[in-house]
Structures are given as structure tokens and as C-alpha cells.
Amino acid sequence: MVQPTSPPKPASTSYPPHKQLSPSSHAQPHPPIFILSSPLAQAYAHIHPLLLLSCFALSFCALVDDPVSTLLGSLAPLALMQGIYVIVCLPAATGGGSAGDGGLGKGRNVSGGGSGKTGAKKRLGGGKIIPALLSITLPVILGTPFLSICLILFGAPFTTNLPATILCAAHMSILAGTSLIYVHGTDGAVWQEIWGISRAIDAVWGATVGVGLGAWFGAVPIPLDWDRPWQTYPITIITGTYIGYVLGYIVGRTPLLYGKRIQFTAPEEENAEDGVIDENVNEGMVGSRAEKKK
């Protein structure tokens, strides 16, 4: 008696256990940060890098004569300029989210906060000034010790020029971290892109990368035997930091690179789809062999 054969199983649409797609793989990458469209923001976005370089150039002679005092005295003006820049030119992240999507962070409260001048003051205080203060304070508190350790690990003197190292790290933290924290807040997905160097290129990310590269290349002249006064630590490093910030800021705004990303790995979806095809083919072969035996 011939036993009825069961119909072949439909092709499976599930992924193998080792190739399951994580929820994050379906998430859209975060868009680049834009400069606000107001005339004031557009104008100051061009003035800000020139203002930073001009102030640094005016204080360069004093920096060569007394690096510690000059770096300490210019720390507050730098924080003020960075605070004005983020308030005027950048969208703020609120509720722990990023400002990349139209300037609205996750959890942003869009309900009316008042009317007339009172509402405008509340929106300015809660949505601009407070995030700006936090975006300046957090890099100084968290970034300065971290970058100080990095500078020492990369060869900065540990026992003789520690105040200069700390002040240099503070300048680097304010330049690199203020804008990042202001526009991205505590959005973990965006910070994963930042630490993974896969963030979309924009003025904020470009300036941050420029700070790191500028400090790296700024250390090159220190060991050379030119015997120039400006070769002493940390003058060339802080000079490279400011120049790198401005160059990265400008490059990040160019249409050729704006929004581009550095891809280190192939997309996970393609690999997972290949695994599904292989699994379905194997199941079909096993089913056909079983029918032949019967």
C-alpha cells in the first residue's frame, strides 16, 4: 500500500540562528546635522571658524612665551564662542535624542510652552541655553581627563608639564565635544556611530575628526631639531587642534562630502539573505530525496 506523501514544506523565511538580523540592522542610519536656515545662523556659520582662528592667531605670541597662562586665560572665551555657535547655528537635541531628523530629538515636547515674549523666553532657555551649558560642561568634566590620559599615553610629559597637558586637553574637549553633545544629546545609537567612525559627515562630525587629526599632525614638529621657540610642548599640538577644527568644519560642509559615510563592513541584510537562500535549497534537496525513497 502506497502511503500518501505529504506536500513539500513551503520555503522557510526564517533566518538561521547564526544569521538572525538584529533590530538595529533594520534601523535607518541617522542623517547628518544641518546648519539652521535662519539668516543669522547662516552668516555666523561662516564667521565662527574665522573668529576662532583670528583669536588664536592674536594670542599665539603670548602662547609661545607662556603656554599655561595663555591657555588658561583663553579657555573661557573659547567656551563662550562655542556656546554662541551652537545656540545660533545648530539644532538642539532634547529628551536624550539626536537633532539630526529636522532638529527634533526623541521625546521632544512639541506642545506650546507659552505665547508671545514669555513663550519665546521659555523656549530659548529650555531648548537652547540649558543644552548649551551642558554641552560645554560635560566635555570639560569628562573629556579633559580622558584626553589628558591619551596625550600622556602618546608621549606627553607626565611629571613636568602636567598643567599644560590638562589645559591642552580642555581646549580639545571644548572644540570637539561641545557641538556633538549639543546636537546628539545622549542618543546611544548616534554615539555608537561616532565611536565606530561611521557617522555621516557634516560640519559637527568633520570638526571633531579635524581636532583629532590636527593634534596628531601638530605633534610632528616637536622632536625636530629646528630649535624654534614655538616647537615646545604643547604649542604645536594646540595649533594643529585649532587648524584641524576649522579645516574639518569646512570640509564637512562641502557638498562633495556632506552626508557621506565610511563603510568598514558589508551590510548585514545581504549576508542574511544569502543564508536564507542556502537554507531553502538544502530543505528542498532533503525533501526530494525522502520522496524518492518512499
User: Concatenated DSSP letters for 83-131?
Assistant: HHHHHHHSPPP-TT--STTTT--TT---S---SHHHHHHHHHIIIIIHH
Range list of H helices, 139-267: 144-153, 162-184, 188-195, 203-218, 235-253
What is the tens place of the pLDDT at every residue in 2-32? 455 555 554 444 444 444 444 444 445 788 8
Per-residue model confidence (pLDDT) at position 56: 97
Per-residue model confidence (pLDDT) at position 101: 46
Where do we find the cell 573668529? 51
**In whole numbers, what is the pLDDT of the chain averaged over residues?**
79
Cβ atoms of residues 159 and 110 within 8 Å: no
Name the 3-class secondary structure at 163.
helix
What is the tens place of the pLDDT at every residue in 227-245? 899 999 999 999 999 999 9
Per-residue model confidence (pLDDT) at position 292: 52
Lowest-confidence region among 11-15, 34-38, 98-102: 11-15
Per-residue model confidence (pLDDT) at position 95: 55
Domain count, the chain: 1
Q: Which domain range does residue 57 map to?
A: 31-93+121-261
- Distance (Å, rounded) from C-alpha 65 to C-alpha 62? 5
* Residue 16 maps to a domain: no
- Write out the H or E segment, with its range, that includes residue 232: none
* Residue 71 maps to a domain: yes
* Residue 206 maps to a domain: yes
Per-residue model confidence (pLDDT) at position 197: 78
**Bigger pLDDT: 95 vs 113:** 95
C-alpha cell at 164: 599644560
Q: Among residues of the chain, what percentage have pLDDT more than 90?
A: 53
Q: Is the pLDDT of residue 40 over 60?
A: yes
What is the tens place of the pLDDT at every residue in 244-270? 999 999 999 998 888 888 766 655 544
What's the average model confidence in pLDDT over 201-222?
A: 94
| Residue 198 pLDDT level (bands cut at 50, 70, 90) | confident
- Distance (Å, rounded) from C-alpha 144 to C-alpha 181? 15
Lowest-confidence region among 64-73, 114-123, 144-153: 114-123
* Residue 166 maps to a domain: yes
- Distance (Å, rounded) from C-alpha 190 to C-alpha 240? 27
Q: Is the pLDDT of residue 184 over 60?
A: yes
* Residue 26 maps to a domain: no
Q: Using the Cα atoms of residue 123, residue 126, residue 131 and residue 136 in order, give the sign of their dihedral.
A: positive
